[in-house]
Structure 1
Amino acid sequence: MSSSVTLLLLVGGIVAILARLLSIGKRPKNYPPGPPTLPLIGNIHQMPTRDAHLQFEKWAREYGPVYSLILGTKTLVVLSSDEAVKDLLDKKSGIYSDRQDMYIGQTLCSGGLRFLMMEYGPKWRGFRKMVHGLLNISTAKSYVPYQVLENKQMLYEMLNQPDRFLENIRRYSNALTTTMVYGWRTPTYEDEKLKQLFEGFNEFAALNQTGTAALIDFFPWLRALPDFMLPAQKKAKELHKHEKGLYLGHWLKAKDEWKKGIIQPCFCVGMAEAQKTDSFSDDQAAYMAGTLLEAGSDTTSSTLYAFVQAMLLFPDIQKRAQREIDKVVGTDRMPTMDDEPNLQYIRACMKETLRWMPTTILGAVPHAVTQDDTYKGYLIPKGAGVLNNVWAIHMDPKRSPNPRVFDPERYMDDFLSFADSAANPNASKRDNFTFGAGRRICQGMHVAERSLFLGMSRMLWAFDIDPKFDAQGNKILPDPDKLTQGFVCMPEEFVANIRPRSKERAALVVKEWEEAQKECLDPVTKQWLQVPANLKTALKGL
């Protein structure tokens, strides 16, 4: 071969490499529209470091309900309308239920074990089937005795420690979840493992929204760099070490109690049985149960916290809700699940809270599409991430006029459950998108609906939620648009004056909790003496 031919081949190779490099970061013409890109990085430089939901909503107004972001070597398609979510994530769930490779979140933070981020396949479907056994509609109804007891303790703590209402709410949701998953309850917020859970998950959520995490995901060659050059990598590994210790400790304790025959009916009983035949590791079992613990503890407590803020900022709504409760329930007892059909305004408040302050503000973790697809004339390429832009959908003024106003009237004619609403073929009639969509939809919505109803109705039955005042006599009111950061969020911490509506109601709160302890709990351990009979039957097959 002559030197001139060799030179031509070399030049041709260099040109081809350069062309390939220059194509990275460029949006193909047949993709959904989106903001202008730069070579190599695409739109990475425009990704916000705080309040990402606001920028994603702004882009939806500029580029339409389906737009794309080019993030280095990867594509993210953003769905910002109820119709698009229904058409793709629901109707085409067979190809829209995968996950993209998330190196920081799944590989480093989770050891490849986190159910939330697991790729779509036989393993994921097997675990999802187990979760369905714990959280299906029939079993969920059986958890009401657990929910009622934890609710009574929450009210008692709010009566005696009103300034710690966030901690009281968190203990309520966490204790219910540990009971369902592991067979034991969390009797106090001072439990170090409870604190570790909330602190660790907050760190996890925040870390996965950092620019460094995105860069490592979108440019895989960066993963070869040492940790001192990429502090996010080091932090992710440390977080996994502590988190795995927590989850593995919980699981091994439950497994040991199962072997000894002393465990209460719970999800881990079924998982221990399944491990004998399916042979998955203790690490995988630990993260399977840990994922449920995260979801049940964090999202329910964040929604109840947002509800308290809404009652603080919209006192007329609070008074109307209390009037409905007083009319239906009266003053000599607390609301029960039997009252739910007659407390439509409370149900409307519940749905409006999820719309007004969605905890999974950008749909938690994006879906991914497993094959090329077209939608409204655009190509959605195989492997693209597909994001459920919950905030933009909930704040669409066509769907919800004056969207930042807390207005339960929007749902006064909505008598559907969360699950039935999510399955509504008319996407515009779905109540909220907080629980996700398609095969990745949150299976805990049946339990969450009852926890939220009991929490909201009983709080308003027992307490008034009013502002505190500063030294100058001015009301101290929170800014509802100041939210914590991460893919699961809640209002920034705020203060409120929570006080009993009457001495009689306060006395009943005390009486109910004292009687519940005597009837249900061991006086020393504060664990259940005996699982309610109907619940034992419902969980027998897990």
Structure 2
Amino acid sequence: MALIIACTLIVLASAWIVKRRYQAVRQLPLPPGPPGRWLLGNTLPKSYAPFQFAKWTEKYGPVFTLKQGPRIFVIIGRHQAAVDIMEKEGASLADRPRSIAAHETLSDGLRILLEGSGERLRRLRRVLHAGLQPKVAETYEPIQIRNAKNVVLDILNDPKNHQKHAMRYAASVVMTFTYGKTTPTSYMDPEVISVNKSLARFGRAVKPGTYLVDTYPILRFVPGYLSQLKAWHQEELALFNGQLDVVRRQMDEGTARPSFAKFILEHQKQYQLEDKELAYVAGGMFGAGSDTTASAITIMMMAATIHTDAQARVQEELDNVVGCSRLPTFSDQEMLPQVTAFMLESLRWRPVSLGGFAHRATKDIIWKNYIIPEGATVVGNHWAIANDPEVFPEPHEFNPQRWIDDTGHVRDDLRFFAYGFGRRVCPGQHVANRSLFINTALILWAFRLSENPAAKIDTLAFSDTANIHAAPFEICLEKRMDESVIRELCTSGAFV
């Protein structure tokens, strides 16, 4: 009897302690933030929110809070806070906030980028990992170098359209390994135009504040309010299904080339994928991979054009390691730390995902005596983190040498979260990094880039979308060797 009483007392005491701790946690304040209006809360920036968030980071600290109606937003703007919260608490931030406009309506709940945590997310990420893990990413290198050669040839033939050449590269590479396309994709291909239109719609819909229904869900019952998004979904689904149907027919005919689409069709039962999920997994890979890679290559070229001293350092390394008798390849990467450093600094200097994508806390998170409550929307603001002076001294300077250690190698103790955080990090990062490396190496091997004094580049002129795109800008491109040499080396083994 005494033992039963003792056990009961222990259980009651434990419950009391847990309750007291919970109450203490709930009494912790939210991170500070700008004052809002009673009931309505804060007004979110209508345009270029990451820049305003960066200003509020300077004023309110590395982590600050916004409120909009019943929703709580916690914005992270410094590197260490991102490590402490987004990385170390990654299991509690693997979820996404509910998105009625972009996810439930425009994407019919099928877009993996916005999928909430749970078994379905794990299942979808497993299939993406199978097609994008580092060992598989290596097998795409021949596709990437072949198309990177075509970028150089495209620039020789039409230097004014350098941004479109980056778009062609990205579309062609991703279309090839996603759907097995055998000829180079043009940025004027109808399917590419359709995908880019779809991406632009999604980029607008996912931006916080675009649709009030995400703050006030009752609006989804207003007749006609979401009809445009529903119509766009039908267009998007037809596009993705159409691409997959081509691969199905090729498989029936025995002519299908190796591709991610072929792989998921062959393993549909193993990964428990429904037909709609198949279409969106493949379509999402093409859309996201093409969009971000084209932007990253363009930003790299902008950086080289503005920062000619940094460009010259890369070219000196290329001359010493590669020379003029052959092209740089992936096998040269360990001997080309300046190329890698230039690539990494480009990703930090102008992050492709300027504001990052929102996460949702699935439990209370404590950070420095503040509480990030369960259910809060948590955003790692890439722009502010990239400009953290404690981790990136003189952050507004483009300085690839910050990535090089005292021995001349690429540092392994410095990181920028270009591809997201924690368990929601982009599974395509290994493919994307290879694309950016080989294009940096080949373009700077072939050309000297400079700014036209009569057409100064605004390096902050970007689209106000989830993944940014630079406004059109001019580059003066000078060939670094005889054009016939460049053409001969780039034509060898390339689609032209």
Shared fold, TM over 0.5: yes
- For 1:393 and 1:140, how far apart are their aligned partners in 2? 28
Q: Does 1:437 align with 2:444?
A: no
Deviates more, 1:141-150 or 1:218-227: 218-227
Count of residues in Structure 1 that have an aligned counterpart in Structure 2: 468
Equivalent residue, structure 1, for 2:437 = 453
- 1:462 equivalent among 441, 446, 451: 446
Alpha-carbon contact 2:326-2:489 (below 8 Å) kept: no
Alpha-carbon contact 1:162-1:499 (below 8 Å) kept: no
Equivalent residue, structure 1, for 2:10 = none
Query: Could you say if the C-alpha distance between residues 446 and 278 of structure 1 is closer, same or farther in structure 2, counting changes exceeding 3 Å?
Result: closer
TM-score by length of 2: 0.90
What is the CA distance between 1:202 and its match in structure 2? 2.1
What is the CA distance between 1:242 and its match in structure 2? 2.2
Alpha-carbon contact 2:324-2:481 (below 8 Å) kept: no
Over the aligned positions, Cα root-mean-square deviation in angstroms equals 2.0
Q: Does 1:508 align with 2:492?
A: no
- Three-state SS of the structure 2 residue aligned to 1:95 is helix
- Three-state SS of the structure 1 residue aligned to 2:492 is helix
- Three-state SS of the structure 1 residue aligned to 2:396 is coil
Alpha-carbon contact 2:167-2:294 (below 8 Å) kept: yes
Query: Equivalent residues in 2 for 1:347-496 (5 A)?
Result: 347-363=340-356, 365-413=357-405, 415=409, 429-468=413-452, 474-496=453-475
- 1:280 equivalent among 270, 273, 276: 273
Query: Equivalent residues in 2 for 1:11-90 (5 A)?
Result: 30-43=29-42, 45=43, 47-90=44-87
What is the CA distance between 1:306 and its match in structure 2? 0.6
For residues 445-494 of structure 1, the C-alpha deviation after alignment (integer angstroms, 9 at most, x for no partner) is: 111121111100110111121223xxxxx431211122111111132221
Query: Equivalent residues in 2 for 1:250-265 (5 A)?
Result: 250-265=243-258
For residues 367-387 of structure 1, the C-alpha deviation after alignment (integer angstroms, 9 at most, x for no partner) is: 111122322222222221111
Letter of the 2:127 counterpart: M
- Three-state SS of the structure 2 residue aligned to 1:76 is strand
Deviates more, 1:184-193 or 1:55-64: 184-193
- Three-state SS of the structure 1 residue aligned to 2:477 is strand
What is the CA distance between 1:151 and its match in structure 2? 0.9
- For 2:195 and 2:355, how far apart are their aligned partners in 1? 22
The share of aligned pairs that are identical, in percent, is 32
Query: Could you say if the C-alpha distance between residues 335 and 171 of structure 1 is closer, same or farther in structure 2, counting changes exceeding 3 Å?
Result: same
Equivalent residue, structure 1, for 2:128 = 131
Alpha-carbon contact 2:68-2:215 (below 8 Å) kept: yes
Q: Does 1:330 align with 2:323?
A: yes
- For 2:228 and 2:401, how far apart are their aligned partners in 1? 45
- For 1:395 and 1:319, how far apart are their aligned partners in 2? 24
Alpha-carbon contact 2:127-2:264 (below 8 Å) kept: yes
- 1:198 equivalent among 193, 196, 199: 196
Letter of the 2:40 counterpart: I
Deviates more, 1:279-288 or 1:91-100: 279-288
Query: Could you say if the C-alpha distance between residues 277 and 411 of structure 1 is closer, same or farther in structure 2, counting changes exceeding 3 Å?
Result: closer
What is the CA distance between 1:146 and its match in structure 2? 0.9
Alpha-carbon contact 2:299-2:346 (below 8 Å) kept: yes
Query: Could you say if the C-alpha distance between residues 30 and 253 of structure 1 is closer, same or farther in structure 2, counting changes exceeding 3 Å?
Result: same
Alpha-carbon contact 2:87-2:421 (below 8 Å) kept: yes
What is the CA distance between 1:199 and its match in structure 2? 3.0
Letter of the 1:441 counterpart: V
Query: Could you say if the C-alpha distance between residues 249 and 336 of structure 1 is closer, same or farther in structure 2, counting changes exceeding 3 Å?
Result: same
For residues 62-95 of structure 1, the C-alpha deviation after alignment (integer angstroms, 9 at most, x for no partner) is: 1111111112121111122222222222222222
What is the CA distance between 1:114 and its match in structure 2? 0.4
Alpha-carbon contact 1:135-1:443 (below 8 Å) kept: yes
Alpha-carbon contact 2:327-2:489 (below 8 Å) kept: no
For residues 295-320 of structure 1, the C-alpha deviation after alignment (integer angstroms, 9 at most, x for no partner) is: 21111111110111111111222222
Equivalent residue, structure 2, for 1:118 = 115
- Three-state SS of the structure 2 residue aligned to 1:276 is coil
What is the CA distance between 1:29 and its match in structure 2? 6.7
Letter of the 2:353 counterpart: T
Query: Could you say if the C-alpha distance between residues 343 and 217 of structure 1 is closer, same or farther in structure 2, counting changes exceeding 3 Å?
Result: same
What is the CA distance between 1:279 and its match in structure 2? 4.8
What is the CA distance between 1:415 and its match in structure 2? 4.6
Alpha-carbon contact 1:367-1:385 (below 8 Å) kept: yes
Letter of the 1:455 counterpart: N
Alpha-carbon contact 1:367-1:386 (below 8 Å) kept: yes
Q: Does 1:293 align with 2:277?
A: no
- For 1:144 and 1:278, how far apart are their aligned partners in 2? 26
- Three-state SS of the structure 2 residue aligned to 1:131 is helix
